[in-house]
Each structure stands twice: as C-alpha cells, then as structure tokens.
Structure 1
Amino acid sequence: MSQLLKTLTTTPINWSSNTHYCNWTGIDCQFDRVVAIKLPSSSLSGRLPPYLNSTLISLTHIDLHNNSLNGPLPYFSNLDLLEIVSLGHNKFSSVPESCFEYTPDLRTLNLSNNLHLTGWEFPLVDFKTSAYLDTLDLEATNMIGQLDPKTFLWYLQLNNNRFEGTISVISTMSNLSQAWLHSNKFTGRIPSMSNCTNLSDLQLQSNFLIGLIPPSLLSLSSLNIISLEQNMLRGPIPVFHKGVKATLEPNNFCRSDVGPCDPQVMILLEIFEAFDDPYNVFSIEGNNACTGGKWTDISPNRVLIRCERGKIVSFKIWNIAPLTGTISPTFSNLTSLVNLTLVGINLNGSIPHSLTTLPELQLLDVSNNNLSGVVPKFASKVKLNTTGNPSLVQNMTTQGGGENATASGDVETRGSSKASLRPVIWIAGASLISVGFVILIVIICKRKRYPILVQWWFFRKTKNSTDHDVEDFIQRFNLSVPIKQYRYAEVKRMTNSFRDKLGQGGYGVVYKASLPDGRQVAVKIINESKGNGEEFINEVASISRTSHVNIVALLGFCYENKRALIYEFMPKGSLDNFICKSGFSDVTCNLEWKTMYQIAIGIARGLEYLHQGCISRILHLDIKPQNILLDEDFCPKISDFGLAKICQRKDSIVSMLGTRGTIGFIAPEVFSRTYGGVSHKSDVYSYGMLIIEMIGGRKNYDTRGSCTSEMLFPDWIYKDLELSNNFENCLSNSEEENDTVRKITMVSLWCIQTNPSDRPSMSKVLEMLQGPLQSVPYPPKPFLYSSEMPSLQISYESSNNLLETNSIP
C-alpha cells in the first residue's frame, strides 16, 4: 500500500504514511488485510504497482474506473479470492501476458475505454479457471483477433474494437443476456440463437455480417433491443415480437418495407447460404432475380445467371477459388432451370437427390470439386458431368444422360461380359427365391398357420416402408443441417420417460420436456398407427420452411424407434383453454376483448405468412383452437402441421383425396368438392370459425356472467349483428371495445362465406382487422347456417368489389 501511495501522482484524500492504510479512504480491510480498493472517479493519475498480487493476496474487489491511470496493468494472477476488477475509462498502455491467470473466483472484468492500449488478443488461456466469470466489458480497448470468450457469460461488451472472424461462438452462450459486438470487423453469418433464451439486448451493427436472419433470432421471447444496421444482411426485413426495439437499416434487404422477397430472389439467397462466403463473388440488389442481380467483377465471365420470361433457366459458376461450400437442395425450387454448372469451386458434400425433380433440367456439370457419396439417378434427358470428384461414386443403376453421362472413380459402367451377366444372375436368383417363398406359404396355409405369418410379414413390410419413407425424406431435403436430429434415448431422457403429459390429439401425445441446457420444450410423439409417416413428413416439411413470430418453432425431431417432434414450449397452452364453454371456470375464460383482438390479428398474420410469405405456399387445413398455442404474453403461434399441404405460390387449387380437418372448422369444399376446390381460402374459412367460437364464448360470458353449455352459432351471431343489440349487452365494454367486437364479428362472417371466391384472402382479413370499422363492408349471411335467404341485401356486389375477392390469389 505504501508503494501505491508513492506511484499515484495524485494522492487520494486521507491517504498518508502517518495513518494506517486500513483507515484510508476507499480501502476495506479484514484483520489488517486489504480486501477492497474502491476509488472510482477520484481524479487519480500515475501508475499502479506491477505486482499487486504478491502482497494483496486477500484482494476481492478493485474499482478504479474513470480516472487517468496509465502504464501497464498490474498482475492479478494467482489472486484466488479476486471477484471484481473495474479499471475502465483510464489510460493504461498494455496488458501483460498471464495478467489474469488463475483467478478462479473472478466474476466481473471491466477494462472498457482504455483507448491507449496497444493491440492485444483476448487472453482466453488466462480465464480457463475462471468458472464464475459472467460480466466481461472490454469496449474500446483496441482488441484484435477472433472472438473466443467463455461460454457462461451473462454480459458481453466487446464493441468498438478490431475483432475479425465470425460470431458463431455466441450461439453456445445459453446464459447470455446482453451482447454488444458492434463496430468491429466481424464477418460471416449470424448463427442460430435458439440456445440464447435469456438474450435481451443484441448489438451487431457496423460489422460485415452477411446472409439471412436466422429464424431462431426472431423467436427469442426475451429479446427487447436489437441493432443490425450497417451490415450486408439479406432477405426480407425481419419481424420481431411486439415491443422489440429493432434498428435494421441500412442493409441489403430485398425490400424497403416489411414483406416477403420475390420467390426467385429468396431461392437464390437460400442457395447462397450453402456457400461459405458467397457475397465476395456475387450479390443481389433489389427484389428481382433477373434484373436486380449485381454480379461482382472479382471473377469476370465466371458467374452467369440467365433468365427467360422472368424465370431463371441457367445458373453457372466455374473456377472461382474463394468459393467453397455445398450444393443446396434449394436448387430444386428453380423449376425452370435447364442448365446447372458448378465447376471447379471446391464444393464438398453430396449431390442432393432433390435435383432429380427438376422438370426442365438438361445439363448438370459438377466436375472438378470435392463431392462425395452416390450420384442420384436422373432422367435420361439430363447430361451429367461428375469427373474430377475422386470420392463420388457413380450409381450402379442406369444413369440419366445415357452415352453423354460422365462418371468419376473406378466404377465399371459399360462393356464387360461380367457386367452383362449380372442382371441375368440376379433375375434367376430372385425367381428361385420367389418360387421358394410361394411354396412355403402354401405349406403353411395347409397347416392353417398362415394368419401368424401374414401378420408378421405385413408388420415388417409396413415398418420398413415407413422408415424408408422418412429416411428418404430427410436425405432429400437435407434436414439434418438446419434442424437438430435426436436419438430416441435422448427424447426419453428429456421427457423423463414420458412422465409429464401436456395433451393428446388424433396424431399423437405431447409431453413437457427439458433440453440438456435446461430450456423447456414440448415433445410430440406421433401415433404409429397414423399412415406410413405422412403426418410426420408433412409437419417437418411444412414447418421447416417457416420463420415467423406467429408460427411455432420446430427445434428438433426423432425418427428412431418412435417418431417425435420437439417444439418450443408455450406456457399458456392452447387457445382452447381460454374459450368460454361448459365446464370451464369463469376466471379461465375471461379474456379481455383487447387480448382476443390481438390473438385474432396474430393468427391472421401467421396464416398470411403461410399463404404468401414462404417460398412455397403452405395450406394448414386444420386451424382450430387446439392448434393455436399461446406464449406467456398471449402471443399466438400456429402449430400442428400434420395435415398441411405444400404447393407453389401461384397454385390456388390443390388436389386432395378424402377429407382432412376437424368437424366444425372444415370448409365446405373440403368435405364436398361441389362447393369448389380446396385452396388457401379453406384456411380462411377455418380461421373465421375459430374467431366465431372465440366471440361466442366471450359474449356468453359477458351477457350471463358465467360459461354455459349454449353455443352461439354463426346464424345467431349474424342475427345479433343485424339487430345491433349484442354489443350493448357487453356490460363493461367501452365504445371502442364494442367497435372492435363488431369489426371482428363482421370479418369472421366474411371468412365463412360458403363460396370460396366470396371469402377474402388473409392479407385482406388483416387489412380489415387493422383498419377502421367503417372500412369493413357488411357481410352477407352465411348460406350453410340458415334455412332462408339473407334478410339484408346491403350492396352485395359493391361489397365484393371492396373485398377484391376476384383479384386476390
């Protein structure tokens, strides 16, 4: 302490050699040992003694921030009781090597705004024993190198430095609450943030980040502040939870307003995501893949995308050294593609099986890469060139391209006498086996034991077919990359052997579970009796294409032993729990009208996204209260995509065998094609019925003060609307609330019109819900719910024009 007194050029008040140091201002002692030095903002200058650690062995807390101290930082190594170091806003010049080595109790380190520090790298090795470090503030300390801090941090501030490389390490920090990484030189993509469930403040502005916004970032319920401006991010402008303060521009988003990108633009961006650093080679500006492409001149004449009639027909890249990565299965969505050339760009992985579905493809040239696996079987019209890929194995079946197909490796593909004899041998062997099997069946049948054998054979065949279908689907869509795949043992462990049952439906049982990081999730076990994996494939295929605040997030899946889907946990359960009906308590049912209105808007936004915001249009076909989940803030999320249909966005009618959905919410055209074709308007109908059930339950509560078994059917609600008397009966409603009730009632009645062409699209539904009451035209009476013609014929033709139902796809 006497050394400290000498080296400080400005002596703190009450510091004197004539006074015991335990009595000095800002000094705390225990048994004459210094445990804390606290002199923030004390106008101190000078240097700190370099070896504080040799004598102040009981030091737990040192706070000298906001002074003018200079010179090297002192050594804090081997201070095993040290918890807090706060030396920010000084003029220190350097950080000695091993400065913080072996500080096992260190919790907070603040060196921010020491602008005179020479360039130094984060001393990761120093903190390998600091198991409790949770706050790290190194803002503006002239740090260089790559980000590699501890994974258990709560607060991380590394902004205004010279960091390079990616920020992928933050995805492992499950405790992280605040991350300020702005104003550096970070590159690459924003990683999946699904593990960062505590993150509330994320600052990434003024870096060189590229690519699409990960869906997991949009679904973080804890997020309050996010800044992404001054980067090179792509795709649509992200839509965060209500209440999130987001700063997003400027970036390279496809549109200047919120909304989906052009489908071809989105396809190209997803293709680029499979490349390691594509934006050094080419980029897209605007929202037109054919006219908005800006192909960087770094490799002239080596990148070419050609369009015809607004459709991409040729995609060529060759001999560009910086470009690596994999071939994206998303290429299969470019349905007009004729020529796909990816030559000499160091690609790895396999050739996606989904490329075989391209209907117009004539040339696939992937020569001179590092591809591996088996070449899928293409149509005979496709000319293949796979040479220069030593690890790529040619398919032994007849390959597309015939004489023009070019294989790699040492596989014999034509000519030899052995090869010509193999089919004969296989056919003969298969014939003998078949004859033997028939004889065996005849013998067993004569002994009347055939039922057991047939049942065993049928079970094995069905089981193998199911597993093959699911396996083929996962390989085809390459789902193992974006969605985590779990083993059955892991699913059983996370559900605690399936103890906490949340609910049960026609397609499976839902259990409450916990991931290894402690995050709560919901696990749905699919019933084995439901088809050969169709509902499982439907759900994964549909929801893996989505990223929206009103669509439940799929976090993983399992198809080993049992088929399971792992979703984000929704603490409020399903909307059905909050709809007033017989047997429910009044408190449970008594949702405010304002909350119900926001729920209605949220569901509408989710459906609009499914119909218009995805690359492919998704028809849910099972919208009902049980499939609308609510988070802690009553934000609704659409779930259960087991009956969904995926189609091209331009398709307005889909083919469908049989009836799917839930009685009471099924559109007329779903159970009888005489009413029209099944389309996105079928979801509009189900949405209208869902809102009517919400309205009916709430009105029962308002008018009676309790829930009864009586259900307000649509024709009764329409009659109340005609008489304009049900709103005054809502005892505690304000005029604004009554207008809201009237508006959502009118919109719901538009949605359940019998003729699909008379229903609005979900975009129009949102427009009406969010607009003034006066802008909503009066709905006709739904035909299915009345034995008479509508009693009001108020401007039916003009109402149709207002809704633009004939022009909305």
Structure 2
Amino acid sequence: MHRLSYLLLSILLFIIPVAGVAINADEDADYMSQLLKALTPTPTGWSQKSHFCKWSGIVCMSGRVRAIALPSSNLTGTLPPDLNTLTNLTHIDLHNNSLTGPLPYLSGLYLLQTVSFGHNNFTSILDGCFRVIPDLRTLNLSNNLNLIPWLFPTDLIDSSLMQTLDLEATNILATLPSEMFDWFPSLHTVFLSHNNITGKLPVSLGKSAVRYLRFNDQGMWNRFTGSIDVISSMKFLSQAWLHNNGFTGPIPNMSNSNYLFDLQLHSNILTGLVTPSLFPLSTLKNISIHDNCLQGPVPVFPKDIKATWEDNNFCVGPCDPQVTILLQIFEAFGFPVLLSSKGSDACSLEPLFACQRGKIMSIDLNNQGLTGTISMAFSNLTSLVILNLGGNNLTGSIPRSLATLRQLQLLDVSDNNLSGRVPEFSSKVMLITRGNTLLGLNGSERGGEEDATEEDATDSLHVGTSKTAGFRYLLIIGSSMFSVGIVIFIVIICKRKRYSITLNWLIFRSTKKSIDYNVEDFIQTYNLSVPIKQYRYAEVKRMTNSFRDQLGRGGYGIVYKASLPDGRQVAVKMINDSKGNGEEFINEVASISRTSHVNIVSLVGFCYENKRALIYEFMPNGSLDKYIFKNGFPDAICSLDWNTLYQIAIGIARGLDYLHQGCISRILHLDIKPQNILLDEDFCPKISDFGLAQICRRNDSIVSILGTRGTIGYIAPEVFSRTFGAVSYKSDVYSYGMLILEMIGGRKNFDTGGSCTSEMYFADWIYKDLELCNNLVSGLAYSEEERDLIRKITMVSIWCIQTNPLDRPSMSKVIEMLQGPLESVSYPPKPCLYSPEMPSLQTSYVSSNNLLEDMKI
C-alpha cells in the first residue's frame, strides 16, 4: 500500500511541472498568434500552419519564446498589450519599424535583458509598464516622436542592472528623479536628448561611472534647467554635450574631470565666472561656452584647445572695480540670471540698480527669489544709500561690515531666513528686519533674557540690541517716529527735485506708503523716447465732460471718451484705487512710453493727482473682443472677410515683433487677449494695456516673474508652471496664437450656421478641421486663394501654441510665414495642452494624459 502511494505521489509531482510548462507554452502560443494577426505585412516565414518556434526572428528554448528579433522590417500595427505573458523572454528587438499604439506591458518579465523599440511610432506608455524587470540591461525607446508627454518611469527602480538607457526624443516631460542614477550602479550609456525635461540634473548623476554621456546629438537639444554641478565628480566622463538647453548657474569645479576631452555648454543661460579648473585639463580638446550669460574676464584657454566663448557678458578689457565687487556679491546668491550684468558696466542692471555719475547708489532686489547669503562685499560699494533685500530666501547673518557704509540710509532684509546677531548701525540707518524668526534669537545674542519672544525678534525696525523689553519698545517707538520723519523729508526733497526719482521709487516700495512722486521724472530717469504730458485731475474731469461718456469697464477701472482742448478725441482710462500701490500704473507708463509703432496704441498723457488716469489715442472701432464674443454686441466680425481678419493677424504680429525686437528695450506684454487689441477706423489693430508688461534688455530672452500673470485661456503653460520652461517672449507668441485661433473659431462657427461667438472654440476642434483640410469651409463659396489663406493662418496659429516654448516661432518668423506661400509653412504637430469646450473667457488647461489638473489662477 505504501509503495503504491509513493508511486502515485511521484507520478503527480512529475505531472504538475509538465502541466505548468504546457500551460505556459499555451500562453506563449496565444500571444504569438495575436502578434501574427497584429503585424502588417506578415513577417517572412510566419504562418499558423507552423509552430511559432520555427518562425524567422523567433528563438525558443524548451518550447518557450526566448527572443523576438525583427528590426528594420517595415512592420506596422499595434502590439498586443500582454507581452508579459512571454515569461521566458530575454530579448526583444523591433526597432526601426512603424509600430503604433501603446507600448505593451513588460512588467514582471524577470528574465528580460534587452528591449529595443526605438524609431517607431508608439503613442503612449502604459502605467506600470516597466514594473519589476530585475534583469533589464538595455532599454531603447529612442525616436518615438508620437508619444504623448510622459514622466520618467520610476518603475525602473527595480532594474538595478541597467547598463544602456536610450530615451532620446521620446517626449519625456518635467524633471528627472534626483536619485535616478543611484538606481543604476552599472549604467554606462545614457541618451536623454531631444525631450522636454526640465529642472536640475539629478544629483545622483555625479555618483555614476558613466563613460559616455550624451544629452545632445548633432544639434539635438534638450530642455534641462537648473544647476549642472553634478557633472564635476564624474571621473570617467570624456564627452559631455549639454548645449542648447536651459541650464543656469555657474560652471562647476571640473578639476577632477581627468578624462574630459569634449565639453559643449553653449546656448544655455549659464552665469558667473568661467571656472579656472577648466584651463589646466590636459585631456580637454574642445570646449564651447558661447551664447550664455557668463561674466567677468574673457577666458584664456591653452592654444591647443578649440574654444568658442562669444556672445556672453564678459568684460571688454579689464573689468571695472565695481563689476568685480558685484561678481563677489552675485556669487553668494548663486549667480542668478537676473543679476547677469553686461560687460564692464556696473550700472547695466536697471531698474534693479540705480547709479549716479557711474556709482551705484541703490540696489532693489526685493522679492526676486534670491537664495544664498548676504556677501560682505556689499561693504565695498561705498556710495550705497539704499539696499533692499527683502522678500527673498536668504540665510546666514547680516554682515557686520555693512555697518561701515557711511552713506547707507535704508537696509531692508525683511521676510528672509536670516539668523545670528544684528549689527549695530548708525542712528540714521532705517533697518527693517521683520519676518526673520531666527534673527538675534541664539543664546549669545539674547543678552541673558530668558523670556525673549518671537515678536521681539521680528520687530519691523530693529536698531542694535536691547537689555530689557521696555527699552526695546522705546526704541521701536522712536524708530517709528524717525521713519515717518524720513518719509516726510524724502517727499520734500523729491518735490524740489534734488534727488533722483529712483531713490524715491525704492523708498516707496520699501515702506509701502502712498507717496505721490513725480512720474514724469521717473520716465526721464529711464530715458524713455516719447515725452508724456502730465495732466491735472481737473483737466481730466473737464476733457471727459465729468466722466459722462463711458466706453467700457473692466477690472482695472472704467474707460471714458474725452476730447483734448485742440478737439482731438482720446480715451481716458481711470484706474481703480484698489489696483495696488501704483506699480502696474508705472509699469504701463514706462513700457508704452518706449514705443512708437503703428500697431501699438499711443499714450497721449497721464494723471497722478488725486486719481490715476491714462490717456490714449481714441480707437473708434473699440476692442477686438466685441467682434469675437457676442455678449450683446452685433456680430460684426462676420461682416469682415477673411482678408481683413488676415490683416488684423498680421498687424498684431508686427506690433508684438516690434515689442520683442524693435524697441530700445525688449518688452514682454504678457497679457495679449482680444480686450487688449484696439481697432482704429480702418480696423488696423493696436496693442494696448501694458500693466503686466516686463521690460528687459534687448539681448535677454528670459525674464523672472513671481506668480502667474495674464488671463485664463491665453496664458502660456510656462507662465503658470515653470516645469514647461522659462517665461520669455515666446509666452507672448502663445497668447497670440490663442487669440488668432479664437478669431478663426468664431468666424468658422458663423460660416457653418452658428452664432458669431467662439464659445464652442477649442484648439483640438480647429486642429481636427485642419486635418480634414478645412472641411468646415470647403463647401462654402470661397476661392482657392481664400481657402489657402484660411489654412495658412490656422497652421501658423497652431505652431504658436505648441506646449514647448522652443517649438514656437518668433514673431518675426510668424510674419514671414503669414506673408509667404502656403507651401512654406510646415504642418504643425497637435499641441499637447489644449482648451476644452468652455465659455471663451473661462478656458482652463487640461493635459491629454491627465498629468495636470485644471489650473486655477
């Protein structure tokens, strides 16, 4: 009996594995049968009549699929998703075909070592696709250009044996995990170029034994932003191509890069001094650092090194002593882009820096997002009167050497993270330290007080140190009275025009008091090209006939029709008292006064007495929104033929191109929308409302702004989220594209029998019509020339709203495309972010792969 039981058990133990193999073999057969049906044309030798292990390109072992190799076979089709049923698979190579659809699941393939799906047309990466593939050595998905934006797959953390990672041109979005390279201790080759990667390079990159690093290949670019100091510790690094990106900050110490022979850093936003550690590298043969914002002396490399360094902010000749001091100051802040001074001119950073007779008198870096510490080098700027560093994220202590500045009258370090002792300043210095909870709280500075409070440590005006709470409060009261006296004194001085308006403006911002300064002096300080007349409030009231004829109303205030004494008609915009402390008003005056162009509205004058008002040339046809949105207005845009709409589009483009390229300073409008486009009697468009504009130098392409500005539906993605890139003139290009598409949508809707309104407009609706060769107008009585014009305007507008700012054309290129033949405009890809069907001024953004939620401004 026992022998019989043993025999049955032995047979059962033999049958179970065999049955398991048979079941798994059946799963392999099922998948291979699906694969056979999915691929077109059928691969050579593949047939249902023969076993799949005999098919060409298939390698089996014990009846199980071990490898699939069909590279460059002109295959099309969508791979069945459950590839992970081939549990014995070790290699799959389908690169250089035309496969589409989502990438199949690879998760749980414990034996998989090589995946090569590069140069196909896959459209998406399934969630969890790469989970638990412990033996993966090579992953190549390069040049799948149709992939919807996706994040770097954190599932690869389980693939610790990875050696080659090629994700070049796969539309990766956002940042890389900071610990990414810690996951792959054996990684030797990584290709990540031609993506949409932002943020800092992973810190873990410097810990990897990478022998060959390629972030660019023959002009291919990437969009990493942030620090690149991680590359300095990579001892095996021989070739690093990081050009045409958005890297910021200084070049790190490269003294350990003993194998480096080719370093490409050009066309970034690098700042600071060129690290001297590059010069003695014996292996270095090629270095390119041109087209950056590098500062200080011109670098001098050994003669045997091929080096390019043009188009930076290097000094012409010896650096001015003040520039040398500023570089020491900027180094403590990490060399931010906004502090990239031009050449030998220490006063080139207006309006942040104000100079008199070539000497720096005031520095206003309030709310500029600065990090780092306050440099002792500030004390070498002996002419400094005002230093405002409030509202940043500075750490460390207030240098004692600042107390030696004899001309200093105001030091604002409020709302930072400073600590340590507060130096004792002269009684004439207004010192503002509130919002630094650790300042003066350490034991050595509390003077033996055991009950010192946080409120004591963050008083608005902090002069020296105190022994008792009562004495501290007396000092606060005395300091407050002193500050009021200072403000009154400055008002009197400024009215007599004995000091520059820049000093007055900085005190205005620091104290947040409503000081009625002379705006005309402000304009003259900025060397603005057009003299602007200042009117008294009584004159404004008279010219508007006591504000009788209202033209429009908005969040900024009310616009009235008015007449100047010479009979000329004008429009008067009265600014609401609630609209801030005058900064937007000054911003608009400063911006528009620099312009003189047929497509920019002319500012005739302004008023700053009792009430704030801006006086513009009168536009008889009002703003463009009246012709796009119904809202009680006549459907007038429907009476405008496509050629008139085309001329409006051209005119707006010329105005923006002038702002970006034709002014003394580059102006970013940052609020292009139909309400801000005015139309004269001939429907010539003019750009107006510069309240949110940014003024920067002609050579600057990127600006630093805090928060989100603009109008929902027209805001470029990078304005509301810096993960999409830096804010630049390309942000205006996006808003322009949305505006023109809105015009197209309203007109097409009317042409097909709808109302002259763009409520049903959204970008993918327009794009779908474009794919159908403008089907909505093909049946209408339009000439072939008009149909080509409609198609050209549509294609150019879609190019303007590409998610990646680097994919958008400049406004000069937009004009060139609009004026050129249709054949010269290449077909645009579908934007990844688009506007869903919503009321026209309430548009929000939704990502096609749910990476973003609806944005709420």
- TM normalised by structure 2 equals 0.42
- TM normalised by structure 1 equals 0.45
